[in-house]
Amino acid sequence: MSHSSASRPISVSIVGAAGLIGRRHVQHVLDDAGFTLTSIVDPTPGGVELAKELGVSYFADIAALLGPPPRSETTASSLPQAAIIATPSALHISQAILFVERGIHVLIEKPLCNSSEEAVKLLEVSRREGAGTILVGFHRRFNPYIIQLRKFLYGHHLSPPDTDASAVGRVVAFHGFWCTRKPASYFEEAPWRMSKLQGGGVVMTNMSHELDLMRFLFGEIDRVYAEEGKRTRAHDVEETVSITIHFVDGTVGTFLLSDVGLSPHSFESATGENPKLARHHEPIYTIIGTEGTVTFPDLTHWSAVGGEGDWTKALQKRASSLALPFDADFATEKGPNAPFSVRLQHWHRALQGKEALGCTLQDGIVNMNLLDAIRESMATGKPIHIGL
């Protein structure tokens, strides 16, 4: 990937590099001329092998990489300028603190942690003088299909959403799906994925992305209610959940979530974002406004033929000119439009002070509060209000 800046590449260490998402980060950093991979940290034999294969320094843990504080000026320059944390979610906060307090910038995989209480310490460290900056890894904000949806709805993709003035009129309601069946091997190869304590479960793993996107599309959420469905596996975590969402501006939404129900309705299937997963390009979101409806990612737009529409009048159905083709090469693993690449380019510009971080620690904390609220609602059977 080329960067307009001729400055030296930013040195990066990847923690948890040998894992599922860690390996994707490795590939993207290697492909991006704005960064140079200097080391990996991962305690497994897979980590040792990967470092050998890539010809980069290997460390079994972060303490070995950073050495004991304080370090001399000379050795400090051998530290990476940035780190990507791609370990199980319950480790994120303690690991991020080690980097941030040394002034090393971090990209923390989503979700930020396993409980919002843990995040308070990182917030405190991040406010100290000389602390490293934090980008939270909700990469779907950088997905080209999402960028097009924001452009369709609001005419731009960067400013906050104004749901009272969208291309479908006043947005009143939203429905979303994330339903697909994860195979047994997904859990067997990383047992933390079936443990509540270690941050597993479809709410933490998959709903976290959806909540971040809903906030990105419609603004803040102030109430959720969640009901857990059947369990079909002998795991400690939920599998199927229905969720209702109330946004601060009055928009309401429903969401169906399942990692056991076999269906074509998931973000990955709809956008082709993850090359390892099957693609079907079926719509997953429906956004309903006073003047029409749009579905995602196809951007099929239903609207009145002329004047004000109502239930007596036929609607017209058109594909928006902003709709992107469903092309295997378009938004997949490689190339400048891959969401991980777009996010990496953004991180590079942000680290150079050229733009504000696109998903902040505050976003990570708000998303975490919402995840906690969904888990609390499932446990208590009550709607949960979120203090903003």
Ligand X SMILES: NC(=O)c1ccc[n+]([C@@H]2O[C@H](COP(=O)([O-])OP(=O)(O)OC[C@H]3O[C@@H](n4cnc5c(N)ncnc54)[C@H](O)[C@@H]3O)[C@@H](O)[C@H]2O)c1
Q: Does 113 bind ligand X (CB under 6 A)?
A: no
Going from the C-alpha of 67 to that of each of 50, 64, 180, 299, the distances in angstroms are: 22, 5, 43, 51
Q: Can residue 61 be called a binding residue for ligand X (CB under 6 A)?
A: yes
**8 A C-beta contact, residue 359 and residue 137:** yes
Candidates 37-45, 163-171, 217-225, 316-324 — which segment interacts with ligand X by CB under 6 A? 37-45
Question: How far apart (Å, rounded) are the C-alpha atoms in residues 195 and 217?
Answer: 31
Query: Which residues 174-203 are close enough to bind ligand X by CB under 6 A?
Result: 190
Instruction: Please name the amino acid found at residue 244.
Output: T
State yes or no: residue 237 binds ligand X (CB under 6 A): no
Rule CB under 6 A: say whether 368 interacts with ligand X.
no
Does residue 135 bind ligand X (CB under 6 A)?
no
CB of 139 to ligand X, least distance (A): 5
Q: Does 20 bind ligand X (CB under 6 A)?
A: yes
User: Order of strands across the sheet with 35-41?
Assistant: 57-59, 35-41, 10-15, 82-85, 105-109, 134-137
Alpha-carbon distance of 299 to 295, in angstroms, equals: 5
| CB 177 to ligand X: min, Å | 17
Contact 248, 220 (CB under 8 A): yes
- Residue with Cβ nearer ligand X (168 or 213): 213
* Contact in structure between 176 and 288 (CB atoms under 8 Å): no
Q: Which of 89, 116, 180, 195 binds ligand X (CB under 6 A)?
A: 89
Q: Which stretch binds ligand X (CB under 6 A): 31-39, 84-92, 280-288, 344-352?
A: 84-92
Residue 155 binds to ligand X (criterion: CB under 6 A): no
From candidates 116, 163, 205, 269, binder to ligand X by CB under 6 A:
205
Q: Which stretch binds ligand X (CB under 6 A): 14-22, 228-236, 343-351, 356-364?
A: 14-22
137 part of the interface to ligand X, by CB under 6 A? yes
Within 13 Å, how many C-alpha atoms sit on residue 194's CB side?
A: 17
What the block records as the tokens of 294 is 């749009």
Number of helical (H) and strand (E) elements in the chain, helices listed first? 13, 15
Piece of 15-23, 74-82, 147-155, 294-302 that binds ligand X (CB under 6 A): 15-23
**Rounded Cα distance, 129 and 119, in Å:** 18
Q: Where do contacts with ligand X occur on this chain (CB under 6 A)?
A: 15-16, 18-22, 41-44, 61, 86-89, 91, 109-110, 137, 139, 190, 205
